[in-house]
Amino acid sequence: MNLRYFIFLIATLFPVFSIAQDVEMDTLKKSNPKKKKQSLLSLMEYETIMPVTLHGNISNLLEDKFNQINRSGSFSFSDRLGKKITLPVRFETRGKTRLVRCEIPPVMIYFDKKVLKEQRIKDYPKLKVVMPCALDSLSKDLLHRELLIYKLYALVSDFHLRVQATELVCLDSMGQDTTHVFPAFFIESDKEFRKRKEMEELSEYNIMWSDLDSEQAQITALFQYMISNTDWKIDHKHNLKYFRNDPQSPLILVPYDFDFSGFVNAPYAKPNPDYQQTDVRQRIYLGTKDKFLMKAIQSFKEKEIEILKMVDDYPYLSDDSKTDIKIFLAPFFQCLKSKRARRKAFSKK
């Protein structure tokens, strides 16, 4: 073959081979995309109630609940493709009132950051677990009432903590013939909420209403009034988280822990003496009357049907429990529709 012709042939065909190779590589990348990182909550949210196994010294956790030390174990569940995910964890009891009053303590689970990274799971290494107070039907009902409150708050506010119901199977690692199965739910961590909403968290105390996004704060205050919850305080940062878009932005309130509300009506919940409350189902408005209050009231009036439908459709409460909740909510919506009742309920501040 003529050398000059050979060189011409190579120069002509090489770009074609190169383009074909690039096309092939692009096709391979598209058919084998890099696994996108997800959080543990996101991996579990395809199930209404996600079965999860916690393996560790469970008997010690229950018997020595006031000893809030880390215990080692493992946490496992299956993702939506059926792949089993098993992670080493540390866990400990947490809480105040429920730790003292309940047979089953609430729990905090800690994950290893390095293992999360290896399994391409987002780096949110803490998971708060809300447990039933005991293993009776009433405790299960109260747990699901509180879980429903988180879902209702998500209906009225974009700034809410995500929750995930679980059937928590606790296997004892000490060789005892003990397997505990608890209804429970996980709550989104501060870090995950912060990243999801692209906000920063503020940990200061002595916050005033004037520091807040008033429109959003009215939604929070009116929601707390709806469920008859007085177990929160802005200046004490009690059962509230504060977030903002930047240092110049007003603060967004994100509430949590609703077990002292009249909506839940837990036996251990007591009236709040700070507000001369005589019964946990006595509603007391803890917001400030400003120009955004009527806007929040109108928003709740418009969402009445959705709120009541969510109660009706919630599958893990008995009909009697749903009826009780709807009877409890009725005076709230009646109040919003009456100018006289509104003046009486919201004129204190």
Mean predicted confidence (pLDDT) in 96-100: 90
List pLDDT tens digits, range 288-320: 999 999 999 999 999 999 999 999 999 999 999
Residue 57 located in a structural domain: yes
Residue-range definition of the domain harbouring residue 135: 40-191
Are 224 and 133 members of one domain? no
Q: Could you say which of 191, 225, 243 is where a domain stops?
A: 191
Are 107 and 244 members of one domain? no
List pLDDT tens digits, range 155-201: 999 999 999 999 999 998 876 667 889 999 999 999 999 999 999 99
Confidence check: pLDDT of 326 > 50: yes
Domain count across the chain: 2
Give the domain CATH number at 203. 1.10.1070
Specify the pLDDT at position 59.
87
- Confidence grade of residue 1 (pLDDT, cut at 50, 70, 90): low
Are 95 and 229 members of one domain? no
pTM value > 0.95? no
Residue 92 located in a structural domain: yes
Are 165 and 203 members of one domain? no
**pLDDT, the chain, mean:** 90
What is the total residue count of the chain? 349
Are 113 and 168 members of one domain? yes
Local structure of residue 274 (DSSP, 8 states): G
> CA–CA separation, 103 vs 107, rounded Å?
13
- Confidence grade of residue 276 (pLDDT, cut at 50, 70, 90): very high
Are 246 and 109 members of one domain? no
Give the torsion sign (CA, 281, 190, 302, 320): negative
Residue 290 located in a structural domain: yes
Mean predicted confidence (pLDDT) in 258-285: 97
Token reading at 52: 């999860």
Specify the pLDDT at position 5.
53
Q: Could you say which of 138, 166, 191 is where a domain stops?
A: 191
List pLDDT tens digits, range 7-59: 544 555 555 444 445 545 454 444 445 668 899 999 999 999 999 999 999 98
What are residue 320's phi and psi, to 5 degrees? -65, -40
> CA–CA separation, 119 vs 113, rounded Å?
10
Are 186 and 204 members of one domain? no
Specify the pLDDT at position 36.
81
Residue 26 located in a structural domain: no
Specify the pLDDT at position 110.
97
Confidence check: pLDDT of 335 > 80: yes
Mean predicted confidence (pLDDT) in 123-128: 94
Are 46 and 186 members of one domain? yes
Are 96 and 168 members of one domain? yes
Residue 157 located in a structural domain: yes
54: nearest Cα among 169, 133, 166, 146:
169
In the chain, which ranges are E strands? 49-56, 71-78, 84-93, 107-111, 126-130, 163-172, 179-187, 200-202, 240-244, 252-255
Enumerate long-range contacts of 203-210, CB under 8 Å, 24 or more apart: 203/237, 203/242, 204/237, 204/242, 205/235, 205/236, 205/237, 206/235, 207/234, 207/235, 207/237, 207/242, 207/251, 208/234, 208/235, 209/234, 209/287, 209/288
Are 226 and 172 members of one domain? no
Residue 11 located in a structural domain: no
Are 86 and 206 members of one domain? no
Confidence check: pLDDT of 3 > 70: no
Residue 32 located in a structural domain: no
Q: Could you say which of 170, 191, 212 is where a domain stops?
A: 191
